Amino acid sequence: MTTLTNKGSAAILCEVADVIVENRTYLSEIDGKIGDGDHGFNMSKGFDRAKGRIDAANDTLDAAMSTLSDVLMSEIGGSMGPLYGMMFADMADALSGKAQIDAQTFGEMLHAGLEGVQAIGEAKVGDKTLLDTLVPAIETYDAALGEGADWATALARMTAAAEAGRDSTEDMVAKVGRSSRLGERSRGVLDAGATSCCLILVTLARGIEARLPA
Amino acid sequence: MQRFINNPDDIVDQTVRGFVRAHADRVRLDAENNRVILSNDTPKQGRVGIVTGGGSGHEPAFIGYTGRNMVDAVAIGELFSSPTAKSFQDAIRAVDGGAGVAVLYGNYAGDNMNVKMASRMVAKAGIEVATVVANDDVSSAPKDEREKRRGVAGEIFMWKIGGAKAATGANLHDVIASAQKAIDNCRSVGVGLTPCTLPAAGKPNFQIEPGMMEVGIGHHGEPGTRIEPLKPADAVADDMVEIVLEDHDMPAGTEVAVLVSGLGATPINELYVLYDRMADRIEAAGYKVHRGLVGNYFTSLEMMGATLTIMALDDELKTLLDAPTNVPGF
């Protein structure tokens, strides 16, 4: 079975951090249309700080996720601090102690992350939040594995589902968070959280694919 | 930007440092968390602690209400962004005098989550926490969905009442009941004349065209219920009073406290112009103004505009509202 060595996979999370930092202004611009325009600034501050505390070559992926979670929860705040803080904390728990990560473990990690988000937030699918990216991405990933797809294929399908999920938020009316006060006027703009969640999932998938044995 | 700024990323730390220096007779920085400000009077053994917190950019809220007989600790967030769960947790721990802690804050998604997480963390340490979530902004959701409304300047009355109640030695249950009554008795509305700019963004993230006003605007520029041409001050005052009173079921003869706050860049004298007319209309509607507060109490960076908050009073609220405090903002 195809596996990834956990130790040293912290580098994948550093790649996620780089992508978030690159998209700092873009995420804030999206957020500014229906929110307060700070999503990209706060996310990039948190991910960049965490990257500075991660030993990319030697840390495990779960250690890197724990570091990121600590920074988000204790230094960033806002709404995204606790939401992504819980997501990465619970993802890290799912990987903890594993020398190797395989397709099954990665799926368990995704589910743990989703449960972490749902434990603290109140949103449902369709409310124009990061769940609109995360939930279909996980469902598609599960379905792919259920059909016997290999890990790379399942990751590719997850990526497509995450992007479609992100795009689906454009035509949604926000039901929770600050933008929910806009009602109908929140329609027509991507949700910033769904967009950053998509960047995270897609970059994780890309990082794993690049490291899988040919 | 015509603003006094060094590096935008440092603005909150620098604000906090300056605030603590200026008011060192009343407040101090927490020894371990530079995003927590404490009253010099806290903690007091056997006394319920009062905690609040929220994003920066609303000064004097939230920090300016720290001091004797009002707020004991404030968790401080980035500009317009909720404080961390860790900061709420540190604030709660710092003010715990063994009688529990009342966290009195505004209804925003981030604050809700961070307070919830902080409450869980301190529960492990055996600290009893209860909350009141302010929802006084009438324009932010319909009346039958009051639980969705934002907290705005009514929070100041909630802190004043909660803090004064705690100072009487009341237990946590009673402090919460009085603070809840205070916010339940408050209704607020905001009118914006210009947008505001987060220094890191460098430009406003919403627009109000010259000559227009946005009625029902939120404290972070959340869009209001209507955009219309700017009217003379008296007509704006009339609209604001009408919106608040329409939502507020008060029997004739009710005594009220009235708070008119600027949103940051509106000249104070214009707030008095508004207040003069508002007080007329409130009295004409059959209410008695027990106390009027006019000034920059709860701002939104350099937004132009004003908020009106009316709190219905009873004997308890009147006594607690008038109890002495030494906080810089009140």
Task: For residue B8, give the chain A residue with the closest CA.
Answer: A41
* CATH code, A172: 1.25.40.340
Kindly indicate the confidence band of residue A181, based on its pLDDT and cuts at 50, 70 and 90: low
Smallest CA–CA separation between B72 and chain A, in Å?
21
Q: Render pLDDT for B161-173 as a digit per residue (tens, 0 to 9).
A: 999 999 999 999 9
If pLDDT is split at 50, 70 and 90, which confidence band does A77 have? confident
B290 in active site: no
Instruction: Report the C-alpha gap between A103 and A85 in whole angstroms.
Output: 23
Tell me what pLDDT residue A33 has.
80
**Is there a contact between B222 and A42 if contact means CB atoms under 8 Å apart?**
no
Tokens, residue B268: 């104070």
ipTM of the complex: 0.77
Answer yes or no: is pLDDT of B120 > 70. Answer: yes
Distance CA A109, CA A105 (A): 6
Give Cα B148 to chain centroid, integer Å: 17
Active-site residue among B23, B58, B219, B248?
A: B58
DSSP class per residue in B212-237: EEEET--TT----SEEEE---HHHHH
In the set B23, B219, B220, B248, the catalytic residue is B220
Pairing of strands B129-134, B101-106: parallel
Instruction: Measure in Å the smallest separation between the Cα of A84 and chain B Cα atoms.
Output: 12
Among the ranges given (A39-43, B55-59, B305-309), the one the predictor scored with the smallest mean pLDDT: A39-43
Contact partners, residue B49, CB within 8 Å, separation at least 6? B42, B43, B72, B73, B92, B95, B96, B97, B99, B100, B101, B102, B166
pLDDT at B269 (0 to 100): 98
Euclidean distance between CA atoms B38 and B100, whole angstroms: 16
pLDDT at position B201 is 78
Chain A residues contacting B, CB < 8 Å? 28, 32-33, 36-38, 41-42, 45, 73-83, 85, 120-121, 176-178, 180-182, 185
Mean pLDDT confidence for B93-105? 98
Element holding B33 (H helix, E strand):
none
Q: Alpha carbon of B244 to those of B190, B308, B328: distances in Å?
A: 10, 8, 28
Question: How large is the average pLDDT for residues B100-124?
Answer: 93
Q: What is the pTM of this model?
A: 0.89
For residue A185, is pLDDT > 90?
Answer: no
pLDDT digits (tens, 9 = 90+) for B121-148: 899 899 999 999 999 999 999 999 999 8
Residue B81 near chain A (CB below 8 Å): yes
Amino acid present at B98: G
Query: Contact at 8 Å (CB) between A208 and A110?
Result: no
Residue type, A28: S
- Domain holding A82, by residue range, is 3-211
Number of domains in chain A: 1
Q: How many residues does chain A have?
A: 214
pLDDT in tens, B33-54: 999 999 999 999 999 999 999 9
> What single DSSP character describes residue A173?
P
Of the candidates A36, A45, A82, which has its C-beta nearest B205's C-beta? A36
Which residues of chain A lie closer than 8 angstroms to B84, CB-CB?
A: 73-77, 81
Whether B79 contacts chain A with CB within 8 A: yes
Specify the range with the lowest mean pLDDT, choosing from A157-166, B197-206, B235-244, B249-258: B197-206
Whether the predicted pLDDT of A177 surpasses 80:
no
Q: What is the CA radius of gyration of chain A?
A: 16
pLDDT for position B170: 98
B143: how many CB neighbours lie within 10 A of its CB?
12
Q: Average per-residue pLDDT in chain B?
A: 96
Closest CA to B99 of B43, B31, B164, B53: B43
Chain A residues with beta carbon closer than 8 angstroms to that of B110? 77-82
* Selection from B323, B220, B310, B222 nearest residue B261 by Cα: B310
pLDDT at res. A38: 75
For A85-136, the DSSP string reads HHHHHHHHHHHTT-SEEEHHHHHHHHHHHHHHHHHH----TTSSSTHHHHHH
Residues B232-270: pLDDT tens digits? 999 999 999 999 999 999 999 999 999 999 999 999 999
pLDDT score for A171: 93
pLDDT > 80? residue A179: no
| Segment holding B37, helix H or strand E | strand B36-39
Count Cβ atoms within 10 A of the Cβ of residue B274 and give its class: 0-12 exposed, 13-18 middle, 19 or more buried.
Answer: buried
Percent of chain B scoring above 70 in pLDDT: 100
B220 given a catalytic annotation: yes
Nearest CA in chain A to B113: A120
Signed CA dihedral, B54, B57, B58, B61: sign only: positive
Longest dimension (CA), chain B: 56
Distance separating alpha carbons of residues A179 and B60, to the nearest angstrom: 25
CB–CB of A74 and B79 under 8 A?
no
Distance CA B79, CA B220 (A): 10
Contact B85 A182 (CB under 8 A): no
Interface test with A, best of B205, B214, B220 (most A CBs within 10 A): B205
